[in-house]
Structure 1
Amino acid sequence: MSYNKMPSITAETINPKVRMFTYEPCGEIVRHARLLEQEIYDNPGSLPFQEIIYCNLGNPQALGQQPINFFREVLSLCDNPPLIYRDEARALFSACALKRANRILESLPAKDSGSYTSSQGVRSLRQVVADGIAARDGFPSRAEDIFLTDGASSAINMMMQILIRSPEDSILCPLPEYPLYSGSIILHGGTMVPYYLTEDNGWGLEIFEVKRCLEDARASGLTVRAMVVINPGNPTGQVLSMTSQEEIVEFCRKEGLVILADEVYQDNVYTENKKFNSFKKVARSLGYDQEDLSVVSFHSVSMGYYGECGRRGGYMEICGFGSEVIDEIYKLSSLTICPNIAGQILISLIMDPPKLGDESFETFMTEKEETYSSLLKSAKTLQKAFSSLEGVSCNKFEGAMYLFPRLRLPPLAIRAAELEGVSPDVFYAHRLLGATGIAVVPGSGFHPVSGTSHIRCTILPGEEKIAAMVPRLRAFHEAFMEEFRG
């Protein structure tokens, strides 16, 4: 008997769609950073820095942001129900945390956090989320329209599976983009139709540009099914004006497009003259209901003042879809049985945090305001630092957790990058990491306008890390520009 000695699977024989897309926030820069981190561990003192500062991901707690105590108390009690009834619990946990945990446990299967739940999520927790949305927007929300999910990413992937039927089906996406969108569209066999945000206008959205892209796509035979809007923006950090949102709603209603509203940074708005408004709220304010427009909004426990990325909790609210479509989405969500229970609990807490009069309210508000203040101070410091560098410009920070400064590098640096077979921003990011230990993401991973170079830098929540980072950044950039000035 002979045997096949060839590997049963190779990089050439895997699904080609997987090989087509990239995800730079966890890509080559991070692999380089891990190698340097190992070098620091194996050979202390061998590098000009003693730690890697990871500015590649919005990962708040890994960067020093403190968790909200009330949320952690409730999660602990839900995972350890007997604690609720022990005498010492009243000394360790707030009365409102004990009350909330008991209420949540009463709604769980077998009153325990270790069981499967409904594939759509625990109904009482979905009702809490719906009530939170209604309180936020001033318009009704129904538990039946809420799907609790393992973070916003799984919900976005689910909607791409629902919307994309063939390569002719396409989705309008902003550029620069969060690469989850291009990656998921590729994986599900669709076509991305990009529309560019305008850097000179604070990364604003021009509706005539979106219309042009839609018309070009249709002229080429594509069926455009939805429009992605990220607000506040990632990687660009802008907050859309109400006027822009109204234009988008009117456009999508007229053209029959689903609005896919990525609203995971809704609690990260830092500009005084703008505030977050959900797309559902904007649509309802214009008088459009479920019969007029389809809107899917996504939220997550990962960002905001809570920053619980590892809990993988989130929701999507689906408005304007018929009951038969909802049934199909439920069937799709059933493939993973159910979202994780810690994430379900946490998203309910975020949408219904302590209120005035609750024992935990003052502590909660103090922790929340300290986190906001720290992020805002760090953002201002970083923005000022980037803007002061030769050949670097940085738009005003409005929301989310990122700065997206533009690099205008000397011709010699661009030629050096070409010789290494990489783009100028990749060249710069690797040099920055090797010299300082600061890991940022090359802007090309977010597909900005061709011929421009950017980096995306996550805002660190701790002033101590910022204080350590800025002098390294400035010294590196000055040396880099001097080396390649010619």
Structure 2
Amino acid sequence: MSHSTLAQIAKVDFKPAPKLVDNQLNPHALVAKYAVRGRIPTMAEQLKGTLQSDPDALPFDKIISANIGNPQQLDQKPITFYRQVLALIEYPDLLKNDYVNKIFPHDAIDRANEIMENLVSVGAYSHSKGVLYFRQTVARYIEDRDDHPADPEDIYLTAGASSAVNYLLSLLSNGPQTGFLIPIPQYPLYTASLALNDAKVLPYYLKEEENWSVEASEISEVIKKAKTEGISPRAIVLINPGNPTGSILTEETIAEILNVAAEHGIVVIADEVYQENVYEGEFISVKKVLRDLQKLDSTKYENLQLASLHSTSKGMIGECGQRGGYMELIGFDQSVLSQILKLASISLCPPVIGQALVSLMVNPPHESHPSHGPFRSEKLGIFNALKERSHKLYLAFNKMEGVSCQEPQGAMYCFPQLTLSKKVKAAAADSGMAPDEFYCAKLLENTGVCTVPGSGFGQVPGTWHLRTTFLAPGTEWIDNWAKFHENFMNEYRD
């Protein structure tokens, strides 16, 4: 098109229409909230910009992003073996070059060759469930973990666990009369997704004073109450190990909850993305408990529907940006499975490089291979550092005035309770914030530590919490937090 023609078009006389504003948008999107990237993290990004333009402008020299479980943002190094294999399959011409034998161990080369024998390219679409070879690897891992068979056809590779959650909640939601039992506190992906789908949150509260335990009898009461109000309970979410609490469900508790689910025909969504982050106790999958129960009484549990989720973003891997994950679906009717596959097909396929990483996560270097020693050392180093910092942060919180914290058994977080004065609550109200959000804002402004207020996860009314990761290296930031807290409590003392 010539410039003169464009000029003629621009001369056409019309009155421009106004821009869209938020009240014209999907009302369900407007009420959805996701505090992990909410107001406090937004403030942190602004302060980060201030530090970049003037490093001396603030009383700290860096932002510590303790608001989100994003390990490599906080200096956790990638596992070498994983990155070696990924590098080779991203640029497979390296596999044809003899020089590669001088810089990569032979088991990384062998694994990359094996992967490339089972796909055309990481740049090509795969099956919507994911590459069969990768799903077969996941099935073997689940069999070894649970001592029960697993079928690759029951496994869907996903773009992280979050996309699996979105598939399940969007499909299971059927309007505001559909209820989902969500633990409180919870990971806000669930309440945000349910808001988008105009479904009902049915909270069941974890017992903080008993290390965030859950009672199956209380879940039964939530279900019965919902039914009397005309709400159909559709699914229950179990987050194990817990986010944000760090608690671990016992085998007995899982079995009791499965009894309730089987009795009421409720789908169980087992969010198990932190299953490798276990510092005290033992992780037992919901799938294993279900299969053990079915061996005892197949009829009673034959209709129980279970979706189990895992991810490459957590554990000792921390490859959040690679977007790798999987879900295993057990007991669903074929008509429902067809709909889930349709949803997966709409997105064509999950990232193939993320699929490959899932296969590496569930099939690490063998003991006889050269990468095993370095791999084990790297993974154990990350694990021990997380365990040590979790304990130090727990001890630090319980030394602070007006703070109590349950020691995390797993995951990446502490969720301490704050006892805040009337003066804090008044100052928070004047600032247009909840008291816990006000505390988090002051903490950020004075130390650079970015956390998330407990109100973003849900909490017993009248209590105040915050969630922090213990991913940041070192302990200086914990000491700075303790100093801030002492000054804060003195400033806002009634």
The one-letter code of the counterpart of 1:58 is G
Match among 466, 476, 481 for residue 473 of structure 1: 481
Q: For 1:14-163, what aligned pairs fall within 5 Å after superposition?
A: 14-108=25-119, 111-163=120-172
Superposed displacement of residue 292, structure 1: 3.3
Q: Among the aligned pairs, what percent are the same residue?
A: 42
Q: Is the 8 A contact 1:264 1:299 kept in 2?
A: yes
Match among 166, 170, 178 for residue 169 of structure 1: 178
Q: Secondary structure at the match of 1:186?
A: helix
* 1:95-148 Cα shifts (integer Å, max 9, x gaps): 11111111111111xx22110111110011111111111111100000100000
Superposed displacement of residue 206, structure 1: 1.2
Q: For 1:326-345, what aligned pairs fall within 5 Å after superposition?
A: 326-345=337-356
For the pair 1:387 / 2:398, whether they are aligned, the reply is yes
Separation (CA, whole Å) in 2 of partners of 1:103 and 1:324: 35
Q: Is the 8 A contact 2:204 2:219 kept in 1?
A: yes
For the pair 1:208 / 2:193, whether they are aligned, the reply is no
Superposed displacement of residue 159, structure 1: 0.5
Q: Larger deviation: 49-58 or 164-173? A: 164-173
The one-letter code of the counterpart of 1:337 is L
The one-letter code of the counterpart of 1:156 is V
Rg (Cα) greater in structure: 2
Q: Secondary structure at the match of 1:372?
A: helix
For the pair 1:282 / 2:293, whether they are aligned, the reply is no
Separation (CA, whole Å) in 2 of partners of 1:76 and 1:323: 38
1:245 — aligned with what?
A: 254
Separation (CA, whole Å) in 2 of partners of 1:2 and 1:192: 51
* 1:197-221 Cα shifts (integer Å, max 9, x gaps): 0111110001121111111111000
1:417 — aligned with what?
A: 428
Separation (CA, whole Å) in 2 of partners of 1:4 and 1:304: 56
Superposed displacement of residue 92, structure 1: 1.0
Q: Is the 8 A contact 2:66 2:472 kept in 1?
A: no
Q: Is the 8 A contact 1:375 1:461 kept in 2?
A: no
Superposed displacement of residue 8, structure 1: 4.0
Q: Secondary structure at the match of 1:451?
A: coil
Tell me the TM-score normalized by structure 2.
0.95
The one-letter code of the counterpart of 2:185 is P
Superposed displacement of residue 189, structure 1: 2.0
Q: Secondary structure at the match of 1:107?
A: coil
Superposed displacement of residue 370, structure 1: 0.4
Q: Is the 8 A contact 1:75 1:345 kept in 2?
A: yes
Separation (CA, whole Å) in 2 of partners of 1:438 and 1:178: 20
Superposed displacement of residue 79, structure 1: 0.5
Q: Larger deviation: 84-93 or 195-204? A: 84-93
Separation (CA, whole Å) in 2 of partners of 1:299 and 1:471: 34
1:484 — aligned with what?
A: 492
In structure 2, the gaps of 5 or more residues are 1-11
* 1:291-332 Cα shifts (integer Å, max 9, x gaps): 331110000000001010000010000000122222221111
RMSD between aligned residues: 1.3
Separation (CA, whole Å) in 2 of partners of 1:5 and 1:99: 61
